[in-house]
Structure 1
Amino acid sequence: MRYEQHCPIALATEVVGEPWTLLIVRELLRGSTTFPDVAAGVPGMSTGLLIKRLRTLGTAGVVVLHPPNRPQRVELTEAGRELAAVVEQLGSWGARWLPPPRHNDLDPALLLRDMSREIDRSVLPDKAVSVHFRFTESPGPRWWWLVLSRDLAAPTIHDPRLPQAMRIDCTLGALAQVWLGHTDWLEALRDKAIVISGPRSAVREAITWLGTNRFSGSRNATDAGAPTLSS
């Protein structure tokens, strides 16, 4: 879309303001480098539209596409990497001022994908273990596993046949509420919105390993006194 204004904000919005574009940039900033991996982070987007948006970003010098016509590998340029501050600030603003996600916004694959990307792998065990999630309701498969080690953190719908560190029974909404910082782990456990089964160390390890997302601090600042939107 062309705004036909000299303002740098208008010019920048012509590049990154189209639907889905900033989510593509988000995926690239979080480490996606291949077309299939970017597509996995925007599952509601058609292949044709994703290619179109990538080409627009390529023309603007935000990314380099390999090969250019039907890209299979995508690389952020210096200009693209500078968008990190924009994306992070937008995430902080959304966490601070917007209500929790609606039920229809939740997807177990995306939630566990995001969680695995933000896990501090330095606190994980050297040898791989699994965390078994059993969602009591879900728009997709109800059984998931996170494979966790210092070398890897990744979700799967297939039993990895690894030592199981714990099992977590919950709704998808309860897990999202905790991870996004709308409630905390101990409150969810006390209310039995989340039930953790396993060795005595399971609860402590779940809180340490899974934690909350990077924007939960913004949410906590709102809860401390800033006005919020009603849901």
Structure 2
Amino acid sequence: MIADATRIVGFTGAGISTESGIPDFRSPGGIWTRYRPIDFSDFIASEDARRESWRRKFATDAVMRRATPNAGHRALARLVEQGRMTAVITQNVDGLHQASGVPDDMVIELHGNATYAACLDCGERHELDWVRTLFEKDEMLPECTQCGGIVKTATISFGQSMPEIEMERAREKTMAADLFIVLGSSLVVYPAAAFPMMAKRNGARLVIINRDPTDQDDSADLVIHDEIGRTMSRAVGVN
């Protein structure tokens, strides 16, 4: 299927990053089973909620900072390099696709990015080391250096609207795909999980590579329940 395709789209979920040592937040023992998620409206309204959010971020950040791209990430980067993959749509927030060599403008981050922060008012980017330095001083909350607005990690929180530009870019790439490869997504989080079937209905072949079955397996042209890195390394020819 890869050999026959020229407009491949990758769609990645937590399963590709667990192979780099990043735990799935939804799995047993994951952060969302230990903490009640902080709703976006609470983050905006309450300084206490913002402090708790930053406490959790810095308490769990070490694992993400140590993580490096695995064979699955590198295989997708190779397909991009070959000009066969037009986009990587990801539900992940770890930045590992960019670290593997996929250009920023070819990674569509539906749930944002946890490797930096941004102002909610003007969008100014702020590095986490700067926020950490402030927060370590009596848990001082960061304010935007440009406009004084609220700063949070550049992720999409519970209750926060999905990013319109990224959703539209994802739709356009999905509709143009001739092969759509799902890697490590349980396909239960909507609206993101609608893209594979959108591609299938538009004529693309659909491949799902995931450890566990998904509700969309019966619609796929090929389903593989195996490790992503091992599977994609063999398919693409990378280590």
Determine which structure has more spread, i.e. the larger CA radius of gyration: 1
TM-score normalized with structure 1 length = 0.24
When normalised by structure 2's length, the TM-score is 0.23
Which gives a bigger RCO, structure 1 or 2 (Cα 8 Å, sep 6+)? 2
